Amino acid sequence: MTLGVILPRRGWQLIKKAKNYAYFTPPADQPIQPFSIKIKIPNKEQALEIANQCFAAGESWMGQIGEWPAWYLHKRQSSSFELVPSKDDERGYIQKLSHVFPPKSSLTLGEYRVWSITLENKEDGEFNYRQHGNIEGEIEQDLIQPALSAPPKFEGQILEVEETEYERNPIARKLCIEHYGASCQVCSFDFFQMYGDIGHGFIHVHHTTPISTRGGQYEINPITDLIPLCPNCHAMVHRRNPPYTIEN
HEC states along 117-153? EEEEEECCCCCEEEEEECCCCCCCHHHCCCCCCCCCC
- pLDDT at res. 167: 62
- HSE on the CB side for 16, CA within 13 Å? 6
Q: Torsions phi, psi of 49, nearest 5? A: -65, -40
Question: Is 189's pLDDT higher than 80?
Answer: yes
- pLDDT at res. 203: 94
The β-bridge partners of 105 are: 121
Q: Torsions phi, psi of 130, nearest 5? A: -135, 135
- What single string gives the DSSP state of each residue in 159-197? -----------HHHHHHHHHHH-SB-TTT--BHHHHHGG
Q: For the segment 8-63, what is each residue's pLDDT rounded down to a tens digit?
A: 556 777 777 777 667 777 777 766 665 666 777 888 899 999 999 999 998 999 98
For residue 234, the one-letter residue type is H
In whole angstroms, give the CA distance from residue 83 to residue 26. Answer: 49
42, 109 contact by CB (below 8 A): yes
The β-bridge partners of 140 are: none
- pLDDT at res. 143: 39
Q: Torsions phi, psi of 188, nearest 5? A: 70, 10
Going by C-alpha positions, the residue among 52, 73, 239, 25 that lies closest to residue 149 is: 52
Question: Is 199's pLDDT higher than 50?
Answer: yes
Q: For the segment 128-175, what is each residue's pLDDT rounded down to a tens digit?
A: 999 887 665 444 444 344 444 455 566 766 666 555 555 678 899 999
Q: Which whole number is the average pLDDT over 72-94? A: 80
Length reported for the chain = 248
pTM: 0.41
Burial classification of residue 241, based on how many CB atoms lie within 10 Å of its CB (0-12 exposed, 13-18 middle, 19 or more buried): exposed
Domain boundaries, the chain: 1-35, 44-142, 170-237
Band the pLDDT of 125: cuts 50, 70, 90: confident
Task: Name 48's Cβ contacts closer than 8 Å, sequence gap at least 6.
Answer: 119, 127, 129
